[in-house]
Structure 1
Amino acid sequence: MSKRYALSDAQWERIKDLLPGQAGQPGATAKNNRLFVDAVLYRYRAGIPWRDLPARFGDFRVVHTRHSRWSRTGVWQRVFEALAQDADNEYAMIDSTIVRAHQHSAGAKRGDPDKQALGRSRGGLSTKIHATVDALGNPTGFLLTPGQAHDLQGADALLKDTPAQAVIADKAYDAHARLIKPLLDKGKIVVIPSRVTNRQPREHDRDLYKARHLIENFFARLKQYRAIATRYDKTACNFLGAVYLAAAMVWLA
């Protein structure tokens, strides 16, 4: 059996007890959690429709339904958050990236496109992934919005209670009243260059700002998952679940 994109034994040992369906837990015991996780990883890494999953993973409809349930009930998020407890909070970086949405990702039941984090622009449908990473470039949090949303929407959600001692971001986050002053009031160091139009430009630590490439490196790793680099999922819930799983794999690397 091919092990392409599959979990290694060491990676499986780190997450197996975080998954539902363990023997002795309430409810039914899950059938082969490891094969299921490998199936989801394969689908998103290869960027294929669910129906094109290799037969060794079983009925693709069962895999898709189970992934939807685990995304909806927060299983992938809990796995990610358990691993992210080891974050280095000396400083945090925030940024966002836009991913083009496949035409088949539209039309989800229940809810308008905004609720599914889909926005329509000149280039078509898109989703914006807002993310934070720690001082080592490991992911610590996510938010999905429609592609045309402002970066500050991500900052509002992801930096509100950040434990980091310093925050590094680019000029898109130069908003004194909305972001910078609240962080300064909490005793944080803010490393955000001023916009050219800012009438009261701030000094910032240029050497520390150079570390911002780490979040760009993380986005590059995230987009190795082809079904994340191009969004195939109709629901924001399933897409975010996949982002959490891919981010967990960064922690497991």
Structure 2
Amino acid sequence: MARRGYELTDREWAIIEPLLPNKPRGVARVDDRRVLNGIMWRFRSGAAWAEVPERYGPSTTCYNRFVRWRKAGVWDRLLSTVSAEYEGDLVMIDSTCVRVHQHGATGKRGDPGDRGMGRSRGGLTSKLHALVDARGRPIGLRLTGGQVHNACEAEALIEVIPEDATLLGDKGYDSNAIREAAAARDIWANIPNRSNRKKRFGFSQWLYKQRNLVERFFNRIKQFRGIATRYDKCPENYLAAIKLVCVRLWCAH
């Protein structure tokens, strides 16, 4: 029997099924729900693709479909669709570092860039930057190397926040550039002032207490061992896996 949390519930499948590609070419493909459960099993367990149980079909089918649909933008469309109507009046921003396993750190010759990995205090790590709504559901995600400062990705995430919203962030986001980017969209940045800041900004401690929702979000996705530790060499595959887990979080609400 499958362990709880490894497979899609009937409710989750009812939401996801209509959003999947429904026009297979040539030979009929292996049942989508079966394969999707195999993909979920892989990231929930943190095991290698080759160890995906036979009940989910050939492990190569699970891997190939995961990658093929990632390249086709299926996972992006899934997350975009289920998160289309979110509570945007209050949003929280933060980041979390993820250790890169040695299997994910070995790249091929000629691989471009840093592949979303970098040296930080914890060794070789990736950093996930996230924006969540008032119910702790993700509305923006970005992946960088672990050494990248939070403020470097904040402006890009602010672009997805609706106007007149309130943004909660810790002192790491207290910069003039971030506050100006938020103000340009009529967003109030409720961010505590750094001790050395000369110009002080209004700050609500009561609202700030709700920022823990973004930390809870990180805790929830890290229940998937394949997310808590990065085993994937390809940054696009790792970020796609995070988005797929996020789809389940949205379906649960």
- TM-score of Structure 1 vs Structure 2, range by shorter chain: over 0.9
Closer, same or farther: CA 27–158 of 1 in aligned 2, 3 Å: farther
Distance in 1 of aligned mates of 2:162 and 2:16:
24
Q: Which amino acid aligns with 1:167?
A: L
Which residue does 1:170 correspond to in 2?
170
Q: Higher mean Cα deviation, 94-103 or 199-208?
A: 199-208
Residues 54-69 of structure 1: matches in 2 within 5 Å?
A: 54-69=53-68
Which residue does 2:197 correspond to in 1?
198
Which residue does 2:15 correspond to in 1?
14
Q: Which amino acid aligns with 2:53?
A: P
Distance in 2 of aligned mates of 1:97 and 1:81:
22
How far the C-alpha of 1:113 sits from its partner, in A, is 4.9
How far the C-alpha of 1:201 sits from its partner, in A, is 2.4
Distance in 2 of aligned mates of 1:208 and 1:123:
31
Deviations 1:14-60 (A, max 9, x none): 1101111x1xx374554311011101111111111111111112221
Distance in 2 of aligned mates of 1:230 and 1:216:
17
Closer, same or farther: CA 53–161 of 1 in aligned 2, 3 Å: closer
C-alpha RMSD of matched pairs (Å):
1.6
Structure 2 segments unaligned to the other structure (5+ residues): none
How far the C-alpha of 1:122 sits from its partner, in A, is 4.7
Distance in 1 of aligned mates of 2:184 and 2:67:
40
Q: Higher mean Cα deviation, 51-60 or 131-140?
A: 51-60
Distance in 2 of aligned mates of 1:49 and 1:26:
27
For the pair 1:160 / 2:159, whether they are aligned, the reply is: yes
Residue aligned with 2:154, SS: helix
How far the C-alpha of 1:3 sits from its partner, in A, is 5.7
Distance in 2 of aligned mates of 1:228 and 1:7:
17
Structure 1 segments unaligned to the other structure (5+ residues): none
Which residue does 2:124 correspond to in 1?
125
Distance in 1 of aligned mates of 2:100 and 2:9:
30
Indicate if the aligned counterparts of 1:113 and 1:119 stay in contact, CA closer than 8 A: no
Distance in 2 of aligned mates of 1:143 and 1:251:
18
Residue aligned with 2:197, SS: coil
Indicate if the aligned counterparts of 2:90 and 2:167 stay in contact, CA closer than 8 A: yes
For the pair 1:188 / 2:150, whether they are aligned, the reply is: no
Q: Which amino acid aligns with 2:76?
A: Q
Question: Between Structure 1 and Structure 2, how many residues are aligned?
Answer: 248
Q: Higher mean Cα deviation, 191-200 or 143-152?
A: 191-200
Q: Which amino acid aligns with 1:169?
A: G
Residue aligned with 1:154, SS: helix
Distance in 2 of aligned mates of 1:104 and 1:117:
15
Which residue does 1:2 correspond to in 2?
2
Which residue does 1:111 correspond to in 2?
111
Residue aligned with 1:132, SS: strand
Distance in 2 of aligned mates of 1:37 and 1:195:
46
Indicate if the aligned counterparts of 1:87 and 1:134 stay in contact, CA closer than 8 A: yes
How far the C-alpha of 1:89 sits from its partner, in A, is 0.6
Residue aligned with 2:134, SS: coil
For the pair 1:243 / 2:245, whether they are aligned, the reply is: no
Distance in 2 of aligned mates of 1:11 and 1:161:
25
Query: TM-score of the superposition, structure 2-length normalised?
Result: 0.92
For the pair 1:214 / 2:195, whether they are aligned, the reply is: no
Distance in 2 of aligned mates of 1:14 and 1:152:
35
Indicate if the aligned counterparts of 1:88 and 1:134 stay in contact, CA closer than 8 A: yes
Indicate if the aligned counterparts of 2:151 and 2:173 stay in contact, CA closer than 8 A: yes
Q: Which amino acid aligns with 1:230?
A: T
Q: Percent identity?
A: 39
Query: TM-score of the superposition, structure 1-length normalised?
Result: 0.92
Q: Higher mean Cα deviation, 222-231 or 48-57?
A: 48-57
Distance in 1 of aligned mates of 2:94 and 2:178:
14
